[in-house]
Structure 1
Amino acid sequence: MAGKPDSLKPETLAANALGWIDEKTGAIVPAIHPSTTFLRDADNSYDTTGRVYSRADNPTYDQVEALLNTLEGGQGALVFSSGMAAATALFMSLKPGDHVVAPSVMYWSLRNWLNDFARTWGLDVEFVQSADLDALAKAMRPGKTALVWLETPSNPLWDVTDIQAASDIAHKAGARLAVDSTSASPVITKPLAFGADYVMHAGTKYLNGHSDVIAGALVTAADDDHWNRVKSVRKNLGAVLGPFESWLLLRGMRTLYPRVRTASANALDIARYFEGHPGVAEVLYPGLQSHPQHEIALRQMTDGFGGMLSIRMSAGTAAAIAVAANTKVFTRATSLGGVESLIEHRASIEGADSPVPGDLLRLSVGIEAIEDLIGDLAQAIAVASRGA
């Protein structure tokens, strides 16, 4: 922040972590503060530091929250112990009986939580195809709907929802709009600029980018009473990020822009190469002109279309599993957003109730040489085809 003008580009702000310099030591990297408690003033107040207890006040949160808030154009940011902790904190800041709307295809763990805990706790949960704006509008209950949750692009089918249109629909009904922007990251989409009230990130993924931190974050468009309730949920339930994890998250965010740009370019090349491949029935990627929401993606996704895509195998489920079993560069593992490329058969992971087709493979494309990635998939598809 010191000496860094507002005119700097976001990639510069990220690389410099807002230009923080320690005044006492001159260090250009923030320190890690493991302390759980802080000195009271002589009168037993905390007026000098404003910090009481690490559950809400750890100094290691400050810079990473400030950077994410700046990149998203928000009025406040909070880091959490995981993406699930961040997402559920927003729902738990609501009241029992509130109506919430979420996508029918979305991050599987959160969908399960909404189906189970949230309903048991008292939220009225409704799932819709959120990319279908007519369906979203019909789901609204003015005065009753409290929160609309979007995931765009949605995991793992990569549908793109018009955030501005969804925001207008939600606000007309008196609801807030929250967007899970994990797969896009602030490099590609800034949901608050399209009218969203909140942005959620599983910081484990692109924000950290190195597959070595579990973290989550929320950014708000307004520092209001409801945001204070979200803060209270984090504090009182203890869903806080550890100091070392917070420090690692900030370190990862310094390379956010080059990592996401490279992954996005690689993903687009892969999508174009395998679209029409005889072993591939369909490629799901917003950057392709064949994608049903490509025009929406062009409007609200900048600097690429993200590093996530899915391919559906012509020979079905067995072929999809065989492809994942025979890749050499793509690693067979669950997660996304790291520098390494991952491949996953989602239906196997999600189980019998999954809406994901059995012939689908989800790819998290990393920053390796594109020739190696395309060659690896091509040889794995060839092996699977011979075994079909």
Structure 2
Amino acid sequence: MKPKDNFSTKLIHAREPDKKPENALNNPIFMTSTFTFDSLEAAEAAFEFETDDYVYTRGNNPTLKIFEDKMAEIENGAAGVAFASGMGAISATLLSLLEPGDNIVAHQILYGSSYKLINEWLRDYNIEGKLVDFNDFEKLDQVVDKNTKVLYMETPANPTLEVIDIERIAEIAKENDCKLVVDNTFASPYLQNPIDQSANIVIHSATKYLGGHGDLVGGVVVADSRDYAMDLKFNYLTELGSVMSPFNAWLILRGMKTLKLRMEAAQANAMKIVEFLQADERVKSVNYPGLESKKSANIWEKQMLGPGAMLSFELDADVNKIREFVNNLDYFKLAVSLGDIESLIEYPFFMTHRDYDKKILDRLGISKYLLRISAGLEDAEILIEDIENNLQKL
């Protein structure tokens, strides 16, 4: 993928108001639940969408609007919709696209909560969830039927870092008159723009790389259709109530200004960690998009600017030893989430993916020997030393 022009400039300046209150450099935080009107006629016009006047923060807010507009700009979409969390964004999106009797076909490797939503929760509403390998196009074609309304995937996948060809899956979606929804959290808008690859809807947990500092929870949807985005906002977000706080939107906007710098630094650290792990005999396998040995190597080069800052690896040790390894690390903090300036490590089998059937996890490569790392911004040498010191104890 070619380098992006003016991306940092867009992060800082795109869709900003021409004039800010009191000529402030930074945007104010509109911490208000409701907005007043000068007349009943003005209120009526706002409720009829004849004006762009704000009514209530559950429907819209100036701080949220700047974030939504900026996200649409950097994801090359038509419009964005902010949510209180990534799962709030995913849930509302799927409910807006699916009805009883429909089915959704998802890639077989998903974040644990997304898996539970698709494989269990939607079934209570007579919506079938089907899981299949999206890199097996023949199998995918067989599974998609006349009731399929959504194809859903993460790429790179969590936690195996498997890369899926967005453009190819988009072709299958178009052929079957369904929507392609892509969770782009692992890559961030800097490294990958699924709408450019013909996806219809992109979702982010804004908690992760967009915010980048581990101090907020948020989600966002960017769609290729403004009409769809407005339907999602005013018929699903407002009714379900998964509304982002204006303060969190402001924090995300602040974090986004350094997204490119953070992603490049974290990615550089990840690449060094991967190189070290590959050379260590105590490591059975390493998962990372940038590895030429992986079958998806040519795919990430086509659709991503870089391989990213997430990686996973299997240790050649028993579970008790792996537990000790995780517990004794100094600079890798044991936690769910990712994309923070601190380096994080987690144990998917016992943490984020524990809702999967254990036999299925083994088949998918999410074994009880697999650990996932989100590389942070510390000095790479210190991080590698931390890993090496604890590998020696295995």
- Residue 387 of structure 2 aligns to a residue whose secondary structure is helix
Q: Percent identity?
A: 34
Q: Which stretch of structure 1 is more off in the superposition, 330-339 or 109-118?
A: 109-118
Equivalences for residues 133-282 of structure 1 within 5 A: 133-141=137-145, 143-224=146-227, 226-231=228-233, 232-282=235-285
- Residue 119 of structure 1 aligns to a residue whose secondary structure is helix
Deviation string for 1:178-205 (max 9, x for gaps)? 1000000011110000010000000000
Deviation string for 1:247-272 (max 9, x for gaps)? 11111111111001111111111111
2: CA distance between counterparts of 1:192 and 1:316?
43
Q: Is the 8 A contact 1:130 1:161 kept in 2?
A: yes
- Per the TM alignment, residue 12 of structure 1 is displaced from its structure 2 partner at its CA by 1.4
Residue aligning to 2:107 = 103
Counterpart of 1:11 (choices 8, 15, 19) is 8
Deviation string for 1:231-285 (max 9, x for gaps)? 2110111111011111111111111110011111111111112113111000000
Q: Do residues 120 (structure 1) and 124 (structure 2) align?
A: yes
Q: Do residues 309 (structure 1) and 311 (structure 2) align?
A: yes
Residue aligning to 2:23 = 26
2: CA distance between counterparts of 1:8 and 1:275?
33
**Amino acid paired to 1:378:** E
2: CA distance between counterparts of 1:8 and 1:161?
25
- Per the TM alignment, residue 140 of structure 1 is displaced from its structure 2 partner at its CA by 1.2
- Per the TM alignment, residue 19 of structure 1 is displaced from its structure 2 partner at its CA by 4.8
TM-score (norm 1): 0.93
Residue aligning to 2:334 = 332
Q: Do residues 372 (structure 1) and 382 (structure 2) align?
A: yes
- Per the TM alignment, residue 41 of structure 1 is displaced from its structure 2 partner at its CA by 3.9
- Per the TM alignment, residue 316 of structure 1 is displaced from its structure 2 partner at its CA by 3.7
1: CA distance between counterparts of 2:52 and 2:229?
22
Residue aligning to 2:292 = 289
Q: Do residues 59 (structure 1) and 62 (structure 2) align?
A: yes
**Amino acid paired to 1:327:** L
- Residue 346 of structure 1 aligns to a residue whose secondary structure is coil
Q: Is the 8 A contact 1:320 1:359 kept in 2?
A: yes
Q: What CA RMSD, in Å, does the superposition of the two structures yield over aligned residues?
A: 1.6
2: CA distance between counterparts of 1:286 and 1:319?
27
Call closer, same or farther: CA 1:8–1:156 in 2, change over 3 Å: closer
Q: Is the 8 A contact 1:313 1:319 kept in 2?
A: no
Call closer, same or farther: CA 1:272–1:262 in 2, change over 3 Å: same
Deviation string for 1:126-181 (max 9, x for gaps)? 0111232222222211x321110010000001110000000001110111101000
**Amino acid paired to 1:192:** I
Q: Do residues 320 (structure 1) and 330 (structure 2) align?
A: no
2: CA distance between counterparts of 1:120 and 1:258?
44
Deviation string for 1:94-125 (max 9, x for gaps)? 21111111121111011112222211012121
Deviation string for 1:298-331 (max 9, x for gaps)? 11111x2111000100124333222211211111
Q: Is the 8 A contact 1:17 1:63 kept in 2?
A: no
Residue aligning to 2:32 = 35
1: CA distance between counterparts of 2:225 and 2:300?
26
Q: Is the 8 A contact 1:267 1:309 kept in 2?
A: yes
Deviation string for 1:5-49 (max 9, x for gaps)? xx9611111134545454441112111111111122422423665
Residue aligning to 1:360 = 370
- Per the TM alignment, residue 207 of structure 1 is displaced from its structure 2 partner at its CA by 0.6
TM-score (norm 2): 0.91
1: CA distance between counterparts of 2:52 and 2:130?
44
Unaligned runs of 5+ in 1: 1-6
1: CA distance between counterparts of 2:54 and 2:170?
36
Q: Is the 8 A contact 1:260 1:306 kept in 2?
A: yes
**Amino acid paired to 2:100:** P
1: CA distance between counterparts of 2:211 and 2:383?
22
2: CA distance between counterparts of 1:239 and 1:151?
22
Q: Which has the higher contact order (CA 8 A, sep 6+)?
A: 2
1: CA distance between counterparts of 2:126 and 2:62?
35
2: CA distance between counterparts of 1:13 and 1:87?
26
Q: Is the 8 A contact 2:14 2:73 kept in 1?
A: no
**Amino acid paired to 1:305:** P
- Residue 392 of structure 2 aligns to a residue whose secondary structure is helix
Deviation string for 1:322-363 (max 9, x for gaps)? 221121111111110000000111111133725120000100
Q: Is the 8 A contact 1:343 1:364 kept in 2?
A: yes
Residue aligning to 1:3 = none
**Amino acid paired to 1:34:** M
1: CA distance between counterparts of 2:10 and 2:248?
20
